[in-house]
Structures are given as structure tokens and as C-alpha cells.
Amino acid sequence: MLPRRFEESVPQLGQSARADQAIRATDGDALISRISAVNAGYLHDPFASLIAKAPSSSTTRRVPLINVGTHHRTWALDKLVDSFLESGDKDKARQIVSLGAGSDTRFWRLMSRTNRPNISKYVEIDFDDVTSIKARRICMNKTLSAAISSPLPSSSSSSSDAASSIPAQTKPQVSQGGSRLDTPLYTLLPLDLRIKKDLQAQAQENGPLDVLSTLLDPELPTLFLAECVYCYMQPEESGRVIEWFAAKFKGKGGCLGVVYEMCGLDDSFGLVMRRNLQARGIQLPGAVFANPQAQAERFLKAGFEKAEGVSLRTIRRDFVPRDELERISKLEMLDEVEELELMLDHYCIAWGSVGLVGETIGLS
């Protein structure tokens, strides 16, 4: 039992911890939605189930509306990432930073391609308890660990046992109580992107992101991804993150930033979304932007040179190929078309670029 003098402080600490735990739980929801879309045939991702706790098929089944939204989100983000990797000088290595990566599998999907992209560093960032779980699953799975370890070409291991024969010098280095993994190619980094009051008082120039300076080469083109991350941060906190990337790579290797976020939560449909999340203890201090253009404008204010933003509804209407829409329409019966369009209107993807001279990056 705690001493009486500490009892008054416990509820405040508990409330903060519960709020963060609710945010972390959204990653599990996103993973279940992804596995549902994979199982239903919308997506191909053999790695999602390796990251998961192997839930039963009944608990991973989402309604068609959610599966379609997951498909459109994935299609658009994949398109932008590929556009970044394929533009400009293909002989020049690229770097990718995934903010709030959670259980994302993009790294493994990229590395499993027949023609691997020229990526020199891939960094995933999230809360330490999230990275701890992911680190354990990576280390315990040969397929996942082999990809991040990049065995030396001279390795004489047989193909049947390649993952277990990774040379010692390329095995992941585990640190920070098991919450961090490092290899020359991949880093899983525990980090809270929110700016604490004590950091503000110290007036640190770079804040939490300063640690990335030791991992990234500013002379290389760099992409940062933030999928449903900024809505949980104060706008000034997420704005500082965007500014950091602009300042770090402007006039050097250049940078592309891509965000996927909620928008327009002040209308009737958006207020229902907000209330549903609040009922789960989830607050959205950063979901204050009315439309995709407002999200894109954030890049320009932070020092990026070009920026665009589109809703998932626009992506469905103008960018996803007709034959792909026809394919997924045959997977499940979708009755809630009007509700789907409302939902898609309240999610957007925005991207901004700086220093990527002569590179055309977009959804077309």
C-alpha cells in the first residue's frame, strides 16, 4: 500500500498512463484491420500475421467498409513510397523513417521484393512498450530477423537454414531493455515524439528527434512516414517534427514527408468519430485540420517547397485504377456505399517535398 502522502498524485499518473495505453491499443486495431484485408483478398502481406499474436480468424474479420478503406489507404501510401524510391538517381541510396510505426510491415514487404529498393537505412519509431513487443517478435521469427540482419553475401549458409546462420556481426544489437534493435540497415527506436515541458524549458533545438542525427545521412534522399500519429499530438509538437526534417535535409539530400490523418472532424460525421474514440479514452488534440489542403499547408509552413493533399474519397475516385476497383468489388458485398464515402472523406493523405530537385512524386 502506498504512503498516504502519495495517494493524491496516483490518479493523475494513472489517467495519463491510461490515455497513452488507449493510443497504443489503436495499433492493434490497425493490425487486425490489415490482417482482415489480407485474409479477404484486398491486400498481399505475408508479414502481418508474423508480427501479430496469431489471433483467431473470427477476431480479425472486419466489415467490408473497413476492408475497402484499408485497401485505399495502403494503395495510396505504397504508391507514394514507390514514387519516392523510383524517382531521381536510382543509384543513390535512400533512407526511410516511419514515425509511430507500431506493427507496420512495410520494411519487410520492401525487402522481400525480387528487385530490392536501394535503401541504406530504415528506422521505425514508437513508444518503448510497443517497440519492445515488436523487437521480441522480430528476434523470435527467422523470416523477420533475417531481413533486418542483411547477411553478408559471402555467407556459406544453406538456403534452408539461412536465417539461423546469420553472421554474428550482422545479428541485431538489442539495447535499452530490449526495446531497441540496431543493424546497419534497420533500427527499431523507442521514442516519444511529444515534447515534454522539461524539454521545452531546456529549449532544446531538436527535441526528441535529435537521436536521429546519429542514424541518418543528411546527404541522402529521405522519406518520413506518419500514419495516424499527429492526431494524438499537439499541433505545435507535430509541426516541430515536420520542421526538423525540412531543416535537416533541405539543401542536402532532400526529403519527402507523407502523412495519413483524420480530417474534418467538426462536422456531424466527424463528431461521431471523435465521440466513439473518446468513449475508448482516446483524445485527439491534433485532429484540428478541416481538409487535406490544411494538412498539406503544414508542410509549406514548415519549410517544404511543394505539398499536396487528397482525401481517401478522391483517391478512390481519381487514382485507384478501374480494374483494381473492379477486382476488390468482387471480394465482398458492400451495401454501405454512402457511409463508405463519408468515412473516406474524413481521412486524407498529404505529402510535401524539399530539395528533391527534378523528382516527380505523386499518385499519378
pLDDT at position 161, please? Answer: 44
The DSSP-derived string for 82-122 is HHHHHSS-TTS-EEEEEET-TT--HHHHHHTSSS---EEEE
pLDDT at position 63, please? Answer: 94
pLDDT at position 14, please? Answer: 60
- Does 73 show up as a binding residue in the annotation? yes
Chunked into runs of 10 residues, the chain (364 residues) has average pLDDT values of: 41 64 87 96 96 64 96 98 92 96 97 94 96 95 90 40 44 91 96 68 60 95 97 95 96 96 96 94 95 98 97 98 98 93 98 86 92
According to CATH, what is the number of the domain 7-151+163-354? 3.40.50.150
- Does 100 show up as a binding residue in the annotation? yes
pLDDT at position 203, please? Answer: 43
**DSSP helix, strand, coil percent of the chain (3-state; round to 5):** 50, 15, 40
Q: What is the pTM of this model?
A: 0.88
Which residue, chain included where needed, has cell 533512407?
95
- Does 7 show up as a binding residue in the annotation? no
Cβ–Cβ < 8 Å for 235, 286: yes
The DSSP-derived string for 288-345 is ---SHHHHHHHHHHTT-SEEEEEEHHHHHHHTS-HHHHHHHHTTS----HHHHHHHHH
Burial class of residue 36, CB neighbours in 10 A (0-12, 13-18, 19+): buried
Residues forming a β-bridge with 44:
none
Cβ–Cβ < 8 Å for 76, 98: no
What cell numbers appear for 348 in the block?
A: 486524407
CA 275 to chain centre: 24
pLDDT at position 197, please? Answer: 53
pLDDT at position 150, please? Answer: 62
